[in-house]
Structure 1
Amino acid sequence: MVIAPVYGAMLRTSDGVRIDAGHFPGPSGDLGIVLAHGFTGSWRAPATRRIAAVLARYAGVLAIDFRGHGRSSGLSTVGDLEVLDLDAAVRHARTAYRRVVTVGFSMGAAVALRHAALHGGVDAVVAVSGPARWYYRGTKPMRQVHWAIEHPAGRLAARLARRTRIAVGRWDPMPLAPYEVAPMIAPVPLLLVHGDADTFFPLEHAHQLYEAAGDPKELWIEPGYGHAESAATPDLIRRIGQWTSRTKP
């Protein structure tokens, strides 16, 4: 069942971008989850709200729209400067919760990994359906994603159809890839979740991340699970919620 957030919030990043957020109530003030959506997603999307509603059984949930998405300002950099968006959300969550865990899907998974490694301030990280490296084009869906990012017609389609506004040009400098930052996360607990039916990123991405990361770490390979928020079952989200509730500061 989808529940409405107790309040909406407009956060501000260290580089001045306004980030739209929604707070879903949890059972106590001890544990907070910051929920990070995938590319072209939104915390207001039905799939993300369903996930937040399930996670709210275990923790308070602060769900955000990354820059360039939905009602947030700025332009999407597809995983680079989004670490500043997540950092603003983590700092906001820290004002209400003793423990804070980030849970990211797809692009949000890459951002959660990079944030934990480069900014810290979290008690655990969950990365679902995340890429291990940049510029992956080995599947048809990812070739379509690159068309949306790299071509004017693709960026226009993303803006009109998905309310996603994408920055023009290549990264400069190139940010460290998720597998490169994975060793920096330890000793913060890390959970990697990936489906064996993911049509965007095959299982090699999950294995590359897991092999690069330090302990403590877990890898869940989910049979029949596709990609990110839209394919996540309530049972999977419940198990993720239970895992986050077991994390210790």
Structure 2
Amino acid sequence: MPNKTETDSVCKKITFSSDGFLLNGTLHLPPVPRPPVVIGSHGLFSDGDSPKQIALAEACNQCGIAFFRFDHRGCGQSEGVFNDVTSLQARCNDLTDAIKILRSGNDTENRTGLFGSSLGGAACLTVASVLDVDSLVTVAAPVRITSDIEAINAIENSANSNMPDTLFYKKNLQFDISDKLSMIRNILIFHGDADDVVPVSHAREIWEKAGDPKKLIIQRQGDHRISDEIHQKEFIKETVSWFRTTLLQQ
């Protein structure tokens, strides 16, 4: 049963399948008929209950945009063992099936935006390069993980206490999506210049290779998780403005 929030938005639980795994998510619906929707893809060790996604869902609803946040396979309430099922391609498959399930229903219209944080940003970039999406926002998205040094850096800088070992990264998370960036349009790119997990050079590369319209926001002394409150407010304000322009004013 959908639950109403204080803003008269409705939260609807949705379960869907991707490669045989049952994935769980929550669709935040504003009180308007068939709104456009933003679909969120969380970071490597996160899940759909991340504070960024919840705050963004509420802010999007306030301007008439739906938001779908879900747990990727192996995360949160979704099926799968994390170390066995996690890869960039698996995250892309999850995201693609999330788009399909929403477009096949009657809750939202087909205009779709994507939001991705860290590995979720890489998944959004990859999916947006091959599927018809209308808008894209990334935060601290890596263009590539191609060396043992980068893998070790990612491990050492992770806040997760149950980190996989280096072999996991070498086997599951080596990728390079730089050849897909030229196919990206309508993108807002966030990155902190003090990010010690994904260097800010990745954001600049995305901006340089993506097509117009595009916008790059480098947050001064910003870290990987946007932990600064002022940066968080800027992120919400700029992201909602971007989605409003690209999803509601076309």
Q: 1:44 and 2:45 equivalent?
A: no
Q: 1:8 and 2:13 equivalent?
A: yes
Question: Could you tell me how far apart the structure 2 residues matched to 1:54 and 1:229 are?
Answer: 17
Q: 1:238 and 2:240 equivalent?
A: no
Q: 1:99 and 2:111 equivalent?
A: yes
2:22 to 18, 21, 32: 18
- Match in the other structure for 1:149: 164
Q: 1:170 and 2:164 equivalent?
A: no
Deviation at 1:242, TM superposition (A): 1.2
1:116 to 128, 135, 151: 128
Question: 1:45-89 CA distances to partner (integer Å, 9 max, x unpaired)?
Answer: 444323322232231100011111111112442322211110111
Runs (5+) with no aligned partner, structure 1: 153-166
Please tell me whether the aligned partners of residues 192 and 226 of structure 2 are also in contact (alpha carbons under 8 angstroms).
no
Identity %: 24
- Match in the other structure for 2:99: 90
- Residues 204 and 100 from structure 1, CA distance in 2 versus in 1: closer, same or farther, beyond 3 angstroms? same
- Match in the other structure for 1:126: 137
- Residues 219 and 150 from structure 1, CA distance in 2 versus in 1: closer, same or farther, beyond 3 angstroms? same
- Residues 229 and 178 from structure 1, CA distance in 2 versus in 1: closer, same or farther, beyond 3 angstroms? farther
Question: Could you tell me how far apart the structure 2 residues matched to 1:190 and 1:168 are?
Answer: 28
- Residues 2 and 42 from structure 1, CA distance in 2 versus in 1: closer, same or farther, beyond 3 angstroms? farther
Question: Could you tell me how far apart the structure 1 residues matched to 2:44 and 2:98 are?
Answer: 17
Partner SS state of residue 53, structure 1: helix
Number of positions where the alignment pairs a residue of Structure 1 with one of Structure 2:
229
Please tell me whether the aligned partners of residues 11 and 19 of structure 1 are also in contact (alpha carbons under 8 angstroms).
yes
Q: TM-score, normalised by structure 2?
A: 0.79
Q: Could you say what the CA RMSD is over the residues aligned between the two structures, in angstroms? A: 3.0
Q: TM-score, normalised by structure 1?
A: 0.79
Question: Could you tell me how far apart the structure 2 residues matched to 1:40 and 1:207 are?
Answer: 24
- Residues 169 and 140 from structure 1, CA distance in 2 versus in 1: closer, same or farther, beyond 3 angstroms? closer
- Residues 191 and 132 from structure 1, CA distance in 2 versus in 1: closer, same or farther, beyond 3 angstroms? same
The farther-off stretch of 229-238 and 90-99 is 229-238
- Match in the other structure for 2:181: 182
**Segments of 4+ moved more than 4 angstroms:** 1-5, 138-141, 229-232
- Residues 206 and 5 from structure 1, CA distance in 2 versus in 1: closer, same or farther, beyond 3 angstroms? same
The farther-off stretch of 139-148 and 121-130 is 139-148
Deviation at 1:204, TM superposition (A): 0.8
Letter of the 2:94 counterpart: D
Partner SS state of residue 55, structure 2: helix
Question: 1:115-145 CA distances to partner (integer Å, 9 max, x unpaired)?
Answer: 1113x03111111110121146459751426
The farther-off stretch of 35-44 and 90-99 is 90-99
Deviation at 1:243, TM superposition (A): 0.5
- Match in the other structure for 1:78: 87
Runs (5+) with no aligned partner, structure 2: none
Letter of the 2:120 counterpart: G
